[in-house]
Amino acid sequence: MGRRRLRDAAIGRRSCTVKFETMATAFLTDSTICIGCKACEVACKEWNQVPADGFVWSGLSYDNTVALGHSTWRHVKFVEHAATPGIGGNSGQQISWQFASDVCKHCVNAGCLEACPTGSIVRTEFGSVYVQPDVCNGCGYCVVSCPFGVIDRRPDDGRAFKCTFCYDRQKAGCSRRVRPPVPRPRFSSANWRTSANARRIA
Amino acid sequence: MTSLHEKGLRDAELYDPRESSVGGIHAMFIVRGDPAAFNLPEQPEVPTVHLRKGWTSAAAAALMLVAGTVLAFASPNR
């Protein structure tokens, strides 16, 4: 592999063939059995030492985290559909309250990575998209380029932050931090695409 | 997914937008109902797909401006 191809692989250019398939991992979030305990949110914050994101009442929902952001790398979204007054009252068909643990999607063609002018955002060997905080200069191009509105700049710091896919833990051979405290089995850390798991969910 | 459907969760689906310009994601979600309600767009779009179109129109505009300027100075009755 030549120097140019190595460099291209390091910055995740689409033009080159990145041979990371065997190592690629993925989150699989089954929101059908999520109980909205937010233990994954807490675990993510604890491990990654993410600062507080405000202690506020949203006033809209019991979900006071509101959204993913610079200091919320994992967010258990509460999807609430209120009952229509007069029709069925508070019956189960009328009210739905669902939970979904949202996170950076680590896209295969990542908008943030393609927009980053400093090369701070890189593709790791696990297939994830990683922001190097020591390189980021806080230009904010990635923020507007994210198709899911995940990455965000920290106002007091200026740099952009998002989920690291627990790069440090995966590097050390551990699973993602969000896995252990969940009271019911929900996250799969199986190798993506290559495993039987990928076939099972398809 | 088949076992979920057998259990009666017929509206459960796997969100994995491989057909979009994002080309696939490393965080997939099994949701019930419309994924858009979970802030998971049907067709997520990487902004760089507009690059070619944007640069082409910018080049066309530049060419037209240059042509207009040249024409203005090249007119015989100045």
Residues of A in contact with B14 (CB under 8 A): 201-202
Residue A107 reports pLDDT greater than 90: yes
Chain A nearest C-alpha distance from B50 (Å):
12
> How near does any CA of chain B get to the CA of A192, in Å?
8
All residues of chain B having their beta carbon less than 8 Å from the beta carbon of residue A202 are: 1, 14
CB-based contact A98 B31, cutoff 8 Å? yes
Over the range A127-157, which residues count as b (16 or more CB within 10 Å of their CB) and which as e? bbbbbeeeebeebbbbbebbbbebbbbbeee
Residue A25 has pLDDT above 70, yes or no: yes
Report pLDDT for A186. 44
Contacts of B21 in chain A (CB under 8 A): 109
Helix (H) / strand (E) element for A200: namely helix A196-201
Predicted local distance difference test score (pLDDT) of residue A125: 85
Confidence of residue A202 (pLDDT cuts 50, 70, 90): very low
**Residues A94-103: tens digit of each pLDDT:** 667 889 999 9
- Residues in chain B with CB shorter than 8 Å from the CB of A30 are 30
Q: What burial class does residue A197 get, using C-beta atoms within 10 Å of its C-beta: 0-12 exposed, 13-18 middle, 19+ buried?
A: middle
Q: Identify the H or E element spanning A11.
A: helix A3-11
Q: Cβ contact (<8 Å) for A26 and B21?
A: no
Q: What angle do CA A157, A46, A52 make, to 5 degrees?
A: 40
In chain A, what are the domains? 27-104+175-188 (3.30.70.20), 105-162 (3.30.70.20)
Q: Tell me which residues of chain B have a pLDDT lower than 50.
A: none
The confidence band for A175, taking pLDDT boundaries of 50, 70 and 90, is: low
pTM of the model: 0.74
Task: Pick from A8-17, A136-145, B34-43 the range whose average pLDDT is largest.
Answer: A136-145
Question: In angstroms, what CA-CA distances link B67 with A35, A56, B71?
Answer: 65, 58, 6
Cβ-contact A111, A145 below 8 angstroms: yes
Instruction: Please name the residue of chain A whose CA is at the shortest distance from the CA of residue B10.
Output: A32
pLDDT over 60 at A194, yes or no: no
Task: Flag whether residue B38 sits within 8 Å of chain A, measured between CB atoms.
Answer: yes
Structure tokens at A168: 């440090």
